[in-house]
Structure 1
């Protein structure tokens, strides 16, 4: 007997049956690694049960992992069943329940590289199953905070099992209006922490008044801002849709967010740019510290910005824009020479090209990236669109707020500020290579920890949560897909 495992170490009579029952390549590789012997003693079995019992920490509580072991089941069959369960749970923690490549036509974000077969064999041999499993999920502060928020949402859902009455979407409510729905709106805003007692963090106890006051309107604006809606304080159908999101909807969104974090490699580059497509925000990290955050405009539904890992390798001052055939054959299919001339466009080599200048759709700077999707960051000739709360408006590329300021920041950090200034002032398209490529991750997180340290749940603009949620054992929940909005022909 092994002192660590407490089960026979030799293959003996177990090997033939193990070879028969270990009917997947993963199980075969595991038992080959341990010498075709039984590995699950009472202590290890109990440790696995205890760890899986806490799977709500990862939003996995709707999935069964442990097998149903019958009283008459043989020790060999029980051993294989426990190994299968342990490997499945380990994979869920290490790389996620779902392979994102099966959900997205384009997914190039680095995945975790964790050999759960070798890890499980080693953990069982050392008697360290609990600590090994605990170390497989992301260990960062954001994951931990989302985990806490998920458990809180589940607890709230259990307390509110009957569900609050839905607020009817029947006409607009503006400040100063009298409406029968106002008490329910105020109650929901207070419950979600938007309507607080002055000078306190405690929610107010709204009076049953029909008056839509300025205080309630301010709380609605804060809600709208968090959910990426028009921040006007007017209660319309989209705001009602958000107010009607239940604790179950919130739990579902956070569970999906936890799953998406498990898809990502555990050690992202310390210097990088992360674009959260769902929230239409950019974050720039330098040596592991967040040094800049700003709004972006990303792809509209039907022209979704893909999930990419792609570095910026140069800045382009005063860029030209070669219009893709997909736009030329749709939005520009019927334009004539007058339109081209008025928009500083010419035909060149079979393509329409927009010349440099302030009216160029790319603005005054392009951040060239390496990928086969023609996706990049750039400036815009329509900066007013950044004032919108809902910024899923482009043809797939990422427009950056104050892109010239951001380019200057990158140029200074990379030691090419003088070259950038000269290129920018030249008026001609000029390329400024970066000495070191800056990794960019295009992510999709509609539940995340915002800059104030609070877990925020936004709408699901591309309606991408559904397949992930179903794989985690949730129903479809509320749908808050963004409506496509034709704004301009820019990329």
Structure 2
């Protein structure tokens, strides 16, 4: 993570709201079309359009070309709809940027909205209302504009020139390095001071190097500084990408939902519009990334069995013998390897069943040590939840099925407990978080997914430093 303005480091997830829009009926659509034909451009509304596009850096869209100012009504209408679409749904299409993207997106009737705005002579108010309205979006906008004031000065925070820093050495760059290690969660904020390379800092650097497939020798050279360093150009690109991802999302959330930030490997549970719980998760490693899904939890599974997917069976179990299968409570059933319920089961003691075609779900895990890692992109694609039993208890209580859930657990056998109300889940990817002072913090991009969005927005490619963790076990 990188702090735009150096502040305290307690992080809050940047996860704004979303909802399903109501599709207008045919009569409404016909009325909108008629209104669009009737409404005409005036000098005032034409000037409002030019001013809005000229000020598009407010939405980090200054690298996007919306064309020269049109001089006729048809041209102005086409340009206004392009710009309005960028504000309302994003300037890019995530379903074309990613193999899988099923998080619900906004679907406003832009033609009807434009017709109404032209009739009222207030294009500015209409356009201003299309982008996300929450405080986090505005803070990102403020930070972006501050960073773009001098785009010709991409100065890194930590000088990369000079000798590599050996353990125990003194170097004037170390205070800045310590701050960055703390922002990245590798070092406690109060663990280092002064210009001495302390043992605590060495341990933090070694952990960071291991996460990025470097030799974990604790020596701060060019490779380590590439992770620790980020120029203002890098930061502004990351913030622009974050704002675009927010524009992809619908604006008003279900009051009760679960958001999983794949980049931060953290889950947030919203109950009746307020954060009820936040906890660590383990998500897919690079190359088996957890996709960006919108998919509800519909039931809890106590003491689950696990049918090993063919991909994992071929990659991880093909060389294992009967002794391994027996030791891990696995058996062959109808041509599949199935792991029986119990403490060794890779799904742990609870599975949160979700409705999607990708076989992605939340679950428990016996590999508890992974939750202590900083980079928790270490699974084969599903999402492992810290203290999953405690989380299941919480959902069961909220759903009014707590007693039924406890009875299911007590059977020791795979037992299903349907939730009275499905809980929407969004798998999101957001590399910008906020500290407890409300300032944006830019985090490293573990999947290397920011570049494709940044490039589509007109930015030069960044330095996508992917995590190289390697899955720790055969679990999903």
Q: TM (normalized to structure 2)?
A: 0.83
What residue is the counterpart of 1:26 in the other structure? none
Q: 1:183 aligned to 2:172?
A: yes
Which of residues 96, 113, 119 in structure 2 aligns to 1:102? 96
- The alignment status of 1:40 with 2:41, answered yes or no, reads yes
Gaps of 5+ in 2: 1-29, 184-192
Query: Residue 486 and residue 36 in structure 1: after superposition, are their counterparts in 2 closer, same or farther (change >3 A)?
Result: closer
| Residues 1:278 and 2:263 aligned together | yes
Structure 1 residue 42: Cα displacement: 1.6
1:122-163 deviations in Å (ceiling 9; x for gaps): 1011112110000001112222222222223223656x4566
Structure 2 match to 1:62: 63
Q: Which moved more, 1:418-427 or 1:345-354?
A: 418-427
Deviation (angstroms), 1:79 = 2.7
Distance 1:330 1:478, change over 3 A: same
Separation of aligned partners in 1, 2:380 and 2:212: 19
Bigger-Rg structure (1/2): 1
2:450 to 449, 454, 465: 465
Alignment of 1:91-130 (within 5 A): 91-130=85-124
- The separation in 1 between residues aligned to 2:180 and 2:323, in whole angstroms, is 57
Looking at structure 2, the residues matched to 264 and 114 of structure 1 have their Cα atoms a distance apart, in angstroms, of 12
Matches within 5 A, 1:274-353: 274-353=259-338
CA contact (8 A) 2:180 2:228 kept: no
Contact map agreement 2:362 2:383 (CA 8 A) in 1: yes
Segments ≥4 residues shifted beyond 6 Å: 29-32, 188-194, 227-234
Say if 1:118 and 1:38 are closer, same or farther in 2 by CA, change over 3 A.
Answer: closer
SS in structure 2 at match of 1:463: coil
Give the CA deviation at 1:454: 3.5
Matches of residues 77-156 of structure 1 in structure 2 within 5 Å? Answer: 77-155=71-149
CA distance in 2 between counterparts of 1:93 and 1:349 reads 52
Relative to structure 1, the CA distance from residue 234 to residue 139 in structure 2 (aligned partners, 3 Å threshold; closer, same or farther) is farther
TM, length-normalised to structure 1: 0.81
Q: CA deviation at 1:190?
A: 6.6
The match for 2:11 is none
Find the aligned partners of 2:133 and 2:405 in 1 and give their Cα distance.
39
Name the SS for the 1:331 alignment partner. helix
**What is the distance in 1 between the residues matched to 2:162 and 2:325?**
44
Count of aligned residue pairs for this structure pair: 438
- Aligned alpha-carbon RMSD (Å): 3.4
Distance 1:285 1:60, change over 3 A: same
TM superposition shift of 1:276: 0.3
Deviation of 1:113 (Å): 1.0
Contact 1:229 1:389 in 2 (8 A): no
1:444 shift after superposition: 0.6
* Aligned twin of 1:377: 362
Name the SS for the 1:357 alignment partner: coil
Distance in 1 (CA, whole Å) between partners of 2:74 and 2:368 is 60
CA–CA distance in structure 1, aligned partners of residues 158 and 415 of structure 2: 59
| Match in the other structure for 1:200 | none
Where 2:72 maps in the other structure, the secondary structure is helix
CA-to-aligned-CA distance 1:201-240 (integer Å, 9 cap, x gap): xxxxx98x5x32589x49x78x97xx99999998576642
Q: Paired residue for 2:160, among 158, 167, 174? A: 167
CA distance in 2, matches of 1:319, 1:169: 55
Higher normalized contact order (CA 8 Å, seq sep 6+, divided by chain length): 2
> What is the correspondence of 1:6-45 to structure 2 with a 5 Å cutoff?
33=34, 39-45=40-46
**Which structure 2 residues correspond to residues 207-222 of structure 1 after superposition, within 5 A?**
211-212=196-197, 217=201
Partners of 1:228 and 1:389 within 8 A in 2: no
Q: Distance in 2 between matches of 1:295 and 1:234?
A: 29
Contact 1:228 1:279 in 2 (8 A): no
Q: Which runs of 5+ in 1 are unaligned?
A: 1-28, 70-76, 195-205
- Aligned-partner SS, 1:456: strand
**Mean CA deviation greater in 330-339 or 283-292:** 330-339
1:187 CA drift (Å): 4.4
1:83-123 superposed Cα distances (whole Å, 9 cap, x missing partner): 22211110100000111111122211111011111111110
Pair 1:135–1:168, CA change in 2 (3 A): same
In 2, are the aligned partners of 1:110 and 1:309 still within 8 Å (CA)? yes
